[in-house]
Each structure stands twice: as C-alpha cells, then as structure tokens.
Amino acid sequence: MKVALLTFLLITQASALEKRTFDVYDIDVEGGKCVLAVSPSGESLLFDLGWPAFNGRDSDRIVTAAKAAGLKQIDYLVVSHYDLDHMGDVPLLMSKFPIKTLVDHGPVETSGKGAEQRYQSYSAMFPKVNHLVVKPGDRIPIKGLDVLVITAGGKWIDKPLKGAGKPNPLCATTPVKANRPEDQEDNSSIGLLFTSGNFRMLDLADFEWDYDHKLMCPNNPVGTVDAYQVSIHGQDKGVSPVLAQALHARVALMGNGTRKGGAPATWETLKTAPGMEDIWQLHYSEAGGKEHNPPDDYIANPQGTPIDEAHWLKLSAQPNGTFTVTNTRNNFTKTYNKR
Ligand SMILES: [Zn+2]
C-alpha cells in the first residue's frame, strides 16, 4: 500500500515537473518596458517596471501579472537602465510585492532627463535587499534558466557565443545612423539572452541603432534566436537590420504604445527579416496605420481598447524549443513547433 502511494506521488510529481515551461509575460505599460520571465524552476525575473506616477498604475499591473503567473515574490528585478519608462518606481513596487535581488549596470554615469534623481531614490533600496551589478558576459543566477548579459553600461560581449561569430553580411548593406548623445542612457541598457533548453530569446531593452552595429559587426557574436523582444519599443532609431534581421527570429514581440514606437521602418525591417513568421504587439501603432500593423489577433490592445484593460502577451516555451504565444485579450494562441 505504502509503495503504491509513493509510486503514485512520484509519478504525479514527475508529470508536474515535465509540464513546467519557460514563461514570458509582456506586460502592457503603455509604451514603457516591462517583461516578466518565469523559469521552469518557478524562479522569476522582472525585466524593467514601466513608468512611475499614474497612481501606481504600472506597479499594479505588474502585481496582477505576477499573481496570474502564480508568483509569491520576484527573485530578480533587472533595471535595464535609468530612463523614466523602464525604472518606474522601485520603492513603490517593493511596497506592493516582495523583491529579493535588484540588478543593474552600476551607478548612473549619464546625465540629463532626471536619471540622477531616479538613481538616488532607487539606490536607497540597496540596504533592504540583495544588489547585483552586472557586466557583459555575466550570468544572472536564476535557477533553471540561462540568462546571459550581452550588453551593459555601454559595453557588449567581446567574444562570440558558442557556435556564433560568423561574418554578418548585413553590415555591408546597412548604413550606420549617427550616435545620439542624448540617448546614452539607452545605450547603457542591460541586454539579456534567455536560453531554456532549445529555446532562445534576446532582449536588448533600449539599445540603439549605432550600438547594434558595434555589437553585431563585422561578425555576429549572438547567433540566432527564436524570439526577439524588439529594442526601444520599435522606434526606428533603435532597430537596425544588422541586429533585427541577423537574428533570424521566428517571432518579434514589440512593447510599443499607441503613439510610441511601432515605427513603419521598424515594421518593414522585421517583416522582411529572414525566418520571421509573426510580429506580436502590445498596442496598435497609430504611426503604422493599416499597412504596418499585424492583424488584431496579434495585438494585445488593438485600436479602441480602453486604457484600463491593459492586456498582455504570454509566451510559453517547452524545453524542446516548441513555443506558443497567447494574446490574453481573446486567448488567440499560435504554436511554433520546434525546428
Ligand atoms: Zn524605453
């Protein structure tokens, strides 16, 4: 009897473990950035937290998504950089939901746009929790998931990843855009490569066009991925073909707002990228119009969606590389079978 019960328990436990996927929630923060990654182990990593203000709107949305993901805490909060639309209000979020470790690219080195003041109120939280500063090549030690830092503090990995490093032919055909000194904080973004089994996803936060060329030319040190979290909300200053097309991503997930990002030029770059199957967006892009937006099923918040609905996109990846993307507004789901 005891043996039978034990066998039953072991089998139930094993099947529960097998079901565990790597889950990614693209939370709508109205043109800011906020991506929640949940490892198959159950540990979690929040990559940016949207905007401050608006009566704590974005921290409330994070708590809602985290609870829907079954989380009791956020193990790692990665602040990609110190711009308003990414670092939100860390003390406020910490008052609403437990956070174990703060991760960033180090003390603020850029000036302007209020980054220094934001860093001050953020760094006041360091004594309360763990604090980790990362540089390219480091790993964020979340259990059951490989999270490699590709960019941080205006630097990038100087050695190609295993199996990558081939010449990038797009470098010869893509003009470099001028550096935007006023956007240096964007180019200081922590960028992460997530690997779970055979599935890979790249997210470089707000890395811009000229830095794409520094990272990806003349050789591609990253290789290919399954999913690409589109840089800098899909603004055309941030999405060079040397990155967006060289990745051969099967899906692009864009954290745009109705009137932020989702640029027609970015859409063209993604749409014509080799291997690209679908573009998923958090919002209908007004700048894009009919020609440069996906069908409504691929848009979490299409035209006319009330702002307080704030639907999100969810990606779930199995260890063999098969993944699904779900629009939580209408539960439209598409599965991308392993290649
Ligand atoms: Zn941004």
Residue 313 sits in a domain whose CATH number is 3.60.15.10
C-alpha 189 to ligand 1 mean position (Å): 10
C-alpha 20 to ligand 1 mean position (Å): 31
Give pTM, 2 decimals. Answer: 0.94
C-alpha 51 to ligand 1 mean position (Å): 10
User: For 309-313, which contacts have Cβ atoms below 8 Å and span 24 or more sequence positions?
Assistant: 310/27, 310/28, 310/30, 310/61, 311/28, 312/25, 312/26, 312/27, 312/28, 312/65, 312/282, 313/25, 313/26, 313/253, 313/280, 313/282
The answer to whether the CB of 171 falls within 8 A of the CB of 209 is: no
Report yes or no on 13 lying in a domain. Answer: no
Report yes or no on 3 lying in a domain. Answer: no
Domain that holds residue 244: 20-336
C-alpha 222 to ligand 1 mean position (Å): 22
Report yes or no on 242 lying in a domain. Answer: yes
C-alpha 338 to ligand 1 mean position (Å): 31
C-alpha 203 to ligand 1 mean position (Å): 12
C-alpha 35 to ligand 1 mean position (Å): 12
| Residue in the block written with tokens 């060289």 | 246
The answer to whether the CB of 252 falls within 8 A of the CB of 228 is: yes
C-alpha 322 to ligand 1 mean position (Å): 29
Report yes or no on 81 lying in a domain. Answer: yes
Three-state DSSP class for residue 11: helix
Nearest of 249, 258, 248, 260 to residue 206 by alpha carbon: 260
| Residue 93 CA: distances (Å) to CA of 36, 52, 122, 244, 297 | 14, 10, 11, 32, 31
C-alpha 62 to ligand 1 mean position (Å): 17
Report yes or no on 12 lying in a domain. Answer: no
Report yes or no on 146 lying in a domain. Answer: yes
C-alpha 326 to ligand 1 mean position (Å): 24
Three-state DSSP class for residue 62: helix
C-alpha 339 to ligand 1 mean position (Å): 32
C-alpha 85 to ligand 1 mean position (Å): 5
C-alpha 249 to ligand 1 mean position (Å): 21
C-alpha 26 to ligand 1 mean position (Å): 14
Q: How many domains does the chain have?
A: 1
Per-residue model confidence as pLDDT tens for the chain (339 residues): 455 555 555 555 544 444 589 999 999 999 999 999 999 999 999 999 999 999 999 999 999 999 999 999 999 999 999 999 999 999 999 999 999 999 999 999 887 788 899 999 999 999 999 999 999 999 999 999 999 999 999 999 999 999 999 999 999 999 999 999 999 999 999 999 999 999 999 999 999 999 999 999 999 999 999 999 999 999 999 999 999 999 999 999 999 999 999 999 999 999 999 999 999 999 999 999 999 999 999 999 999 999 999 999 999 999 999 999 999 999 999 999 998
The contacts of residue 19 (CB under 8 Å, 6+ apart) are: none
Report yes or no on 10 lying in a domain. Answer: no
d(CA 249, CA 259): 25
C-alpha 81 to ligand 1 mean position (Å): 9
Report yes or no on 8 lying in a domain. Answer: no
pLDDT (0 to 100) of residue 15: 47
| Cα dihedral across residues 268, 282, 147, 86: positive or negative | positive
